[in-house]
Amino acid sequence: MSDEKINQLLGTWVVVRERRADDTLAFIRPDAELSPTRGGRKNMIILPDGGLDKMSRGPTDRLEKTDSGSWSLNGNTLQLSIPGWEGTYDINTLSETELILGRR
For residue 11, count CB atoms less than 10 angstroms from its CB and return exposed for 0-12, middle for 13-18, buried for 19 or more: middle
The H or E element spanning position 3 is helix 3-9
Instruction: Give the predicted TM-score (pTM) of the model.
Output: 0.86
pLDDT of residue 63: 84
Domain formed by 3-103, architecture: Beta Barrel (2.40)
Domain ranges of the chain: 3-103
The string over 43-57, giving b where at least 16 C-beta atoms fall within 10 Å of a residue's C-beta and e elsewhere, is: bbbbeeeeebbbbeb
> Is it the case that residue 25 has pLDDT exceeding 90?
yes
Q: What is the pLDDT of residues 38-81, one digit of tens each?
A: 557 889 999 999 999 999 877 767 888 999 999 999 999 999 99
Q: Where are the beta strands (DSSP E) in 1-104?
A: 11-15, 24-28, 43-46, 51-57, 63-74, 77-81, 87-94, 98-103
